[in-house]
Structure 1
């Protein structure tokens, strides 16, 4: 049996649903948090996990340490029902490969849980360069978020691969253990972690761009200055 056939065998007996929203969160900001709420509502999942990455293979080193980014995310979502932080990628010494994370999660959750990984169009455009990217769909569903600043420009091999895996709605993904694909447009707040870091480096305010608890943590630890 392939990974896909193994995982989709539980389609008619889904017990619960989990979505993974990963990123460097360097720092986590109100745009991330608003998107997290909209993703959870669109999918209708039981649980959404924000997953800070340790060392993203296709990005530069984060400006804050892993433990600091984890602390900021944890503080930001402390009172959000159904949203939690998952620190498993921060516990690895090497690069954070999504396929390894999903294999770990699938082994932990079992086949009767709908698992969906969320990625933005910036990540999707590089998907053909990801480690063992085709195996992602044997382990989880994929929800693609459109980002206005990153128009879709995926490799033809990716477009061809996902064409037969498209479903009609975001909620349809939660009826599947794995293997589905859906594109979702969100009303995303135009907030950038890069811009926040630049503001901090030049001594400008980041008030209302990040939760107060995150701003306090940044100030207390002198991050990004």
Structure 2
């Protein structure tokens, strides 16, 4: 008599955000997660009009340009354009429904930071997310709130994410770059304010500050704007 094998689904993951701009924190965390969790695909999913962030540094076309430059260097990552193609307020629940329809035979993982996880109750229809995806939460080293929330079952076993298509929350303790978007915003604001009268020394300093946060191709792109 043969023993039935446990189902194992391909894990398709989506990392959403405004990516304003995409930076090393996004890219290195995503690359590490794809490798360590054995994700079949990891899509960066930019939003056109983020509901929780009213003011952006760059328009949607500029953010897409920078994403394309980023994945040329970080070529294990892909881009999903479903939200920018619609060019309207981006609600994750709408994207999850379309994703589930597109990947009916796969396990769907939604990647987010711990701050987003802790405020998920402010998101549209958050109560039913567990029906459409697993959550993979990028938890900082000082995060101790690993818990079941929002209908998701807590697991510390990566393999559980492949055994069923939705419903688990997994905390990934990535010990790599934790970059503040506000820090990048402050540097960019200084660059733009000083651009007209900037000196060579200021420009070099700005480039050095940004080089710790952004790939060179994106720094060069920003410099052309």
* Category of TM-score, reference length = shorter chain: 0.7 to 0.9
CA distance in 2, matches of 1:77, 1:151: 32
Aligned residues: 204
CA RMSD of aligned residues (A): 2.3
Distance change >3 Å, CA 142–CA 66, structure 1 → 2? same
- Asked whether the 8 Å contact 2:22–2:63 carries over to 1, the reply is yes
Are 1:175 and 2:163 matched, yes or no? yes
Deviations 1:51-101 (CA, angstroms, capped at 9, x unpaired)? 111122122232100111111011111243431011111122321111100
Q: Is it true that 1:30 corresponds to 2:34 in the alignment? A: no
CA gap of 1:26–1:150, structure 2 versus 1, over 3 A, is farther
TM-score, scaled relative to structure 1:
0.82
1:200 corresponding residue in structure 2? 188
* Alignment map for 1:1-225 (pairs within 5 Å): 12=7, 14=9, 16-110=10-104, 112-147=105-140, 152=145, 159=149, 161-162=151-152, 165-203=153-191, 204-205=206-207, 206-221=210-225
Q: What is the rounded CA distance, in whole Å, between the counterparts of 1:96 and 1:61 in structure 2?
A: 14
**Which ranges in structure 2 are unaligned for 5 or more consecutive residues?**
1-5, 192-205
Q: Which runs of 5+ in 1 are unaligned?
A: 1-10
Retained in 1: the 8 A contact 2:107–2:166? yes
User: Which of these two proteins has the greater Rg computed from alpha carbons?
Assistant: 2
Instruction: Tell me the TM-score normalised to structure 2 length.
Output: 0.82
Q: Distance in 1 between matches of 2:96 and 2:68?
A: 21
- Asked if the contact 1:146–1:185 (Cα under 8 Å) also holds between the matched residues in 2, the reply is yes
Structure 1 residues 75 and 131 mapped into 2: Cα distance closer, same or farther (>3 Å)? same
SS at 1:48 equivalent: strand
CA distance in 1, matches of 2:32, 2:47: 21
Which structure carries more relative contact order (alpha carbon 8 Å, separation 6+)? 1
Secondary structure at 2:121 match in 1: helix
